[in-house]
Amino acid sequence: MKKRLLALMMAAVFAMSLTACGSSGSGSDTESNTAETDSTASEDASAEETADSGEKKVLRVAMECAYAPYNWTQPEDSNGAVAISGSSDYANGYDVMMAKHIAEAIGYDLEIVKLDWDSLVPAVQSGTVDCAIAGQSITSERLEMVDFTEPYYYATIVTLVKEDSPYADAQGVADLAGASCTSQLGTIWYDVCLPQIQDADIQAAQESAPAMLVALESGRVDLVVTDMPTGTAATVAYPDLKLLDFAGSDDDFEVSEEEINIGISVQKGNTELLDAMNSVLSQMTVDDFNSMMDEAISVQPLSE
């Protein structure tokens, strides 16, 4: 009897031992599965975050990087300059400031692409860049090739001469008669304004705004015609230059509003980007534009 009772007790203990081992094993598997699930979820979340980060669009903006105060090239990133794609240099100026403001507002990263003036429109047309923010007038000719945002600056036409020039006291376009002159290639200054000067000796157009200013500073021409921001910046870089502004007089250069309104060009049909940019610009005032331009002029380098 005792032997039988002892055998029953031993069997019970053995069964309990098996149950305990089974419970322990089952719990371990559950914890392992939970850990694996948590790990997988964490990895999925991390991958999703990476994907989201990788999907952030880049706004590729073209400009000359040689047209102060709209844009220029500098060797370092001072004053908020942005690296130029494929270069060790940086771009800054009004156009860069505007590009940064727009890119941030629409949630894009920004990339600055340096191109010659004549390459800007073709690059936008081909989609090589998303847009050009480069001091371009919204002309009918350009509108046949690209679309434009609402103006992001309103420019006025001015004349630059040397302070000791015989034209330094000119009060209107008529007083510039017979002057030798030039301006930048492919601009309304050269194509529209210079021909309005009676008997003007119009020299070959210059490839860039700095080249235009060098032609004047070196004495190769008597005057150049440009816009107010470029003229104002030029008098800072070259203190011996004088700015002539005929605005409000009866003898100013005759230009249309489309020729002095400065816009951002985008590829035709790219309404998504066009609408996004216009939405940002609609929140800005003329005072905002002028304040930003004043800042650009204040930090421009003295020479390009």
Query: Residue 9: inside a domain, yes or no?
Result: no
CA–CA distances in Å: residue 38 to residues 32, 33, 50, 118: 10, 9, 18, 57
What range does the domain containing 147 cover? Answer: 58-154+262-299
For residue 167, tell me if it sits in a domain: yes
67 & 112 share domain: yes
Please indicate, yes or no, if residue 206 is contained in any of the structural domains.
yes
Burial class (CB in 10 A: 0-12, 13-18, 19+), 128: middle
Strand boundaries in the chain, DSSP class E? 58-63, 72-74, 82-83, 90-92, 109-114, 131-137, 147-148, 153-154, 157-162, 180-182, 201-202, 223-227, 241-244, 261-266
In a domain, 81, yes or no: yes
Tally of structural domains, the chain: 2
DSSP letter assigned to residue 173: G
**Residues 277 and 236 placed together within one structural domain of the fold:** no
**289 and 207 in a common domain:** no
- Considering the domain boundaries, does residue 112 fall inside one? yes
207: CATH: 3.40.190.10
- DSSP 8-state secondary structure symbol assigned to residue 54: H
Q: Do residues 221 and 282 both lie within one domain?
A: no
| 57 Cβ contact list (under 8 Å, min separation 6) | 107, 108, 109
In this structure, are 103 and 171 located in the same domain? no
Verify that 242 and 166 share a domain, yes or no.
yes
- The answer to whether residues 148 and 267 belong to one domain is yes
Same domain as 179, residue 92 = no
What does the pLDDT read at residue 54? 58
The single-letter DSSP state of residue 191 is I
Q: Are residues 146 and 189 in the same domain?
A: no
24 lies in a domain? no
223 assigned to some structural domain: yes
Alpha carbons 199 and 189: distance in angstroms, whole number: 16
The pLDDT, as a whole number, for residue 22 is: 36
Let me know whether 193 and 240 are in one domain.
yes
Would you give per-residue pLDDT tens digits along the chain (304 residues)?
433 433 434 444 333 333 333 333 334 343 344 444 444 444 444 444 434 555 789 999 999 999 999 999 999 999 999 999 999 999 999 999 999 999 999 999 999 999 999 999 999 999 999 999 999 999 989 999 999 999 999 989 999 999 999 999 999 999 999 999 999 998 999 999 999 999 999 999 999 889 999 999 999 999 999 999 999 999 988 999 999 999 999 999 999 888 889 999 999 999 999 999 999 999 999 999 999 999 999 999 864 4
Q: What is the dihedral of CA 244, 245, 246, 248, to 10 degrees?
A: -160
Same domain, 184 and 213: yes
Q: Is residue 147 part of a domain?
A: yes
Which pTM was predicted? 0.74
Domain identity same for 127 and 175: no
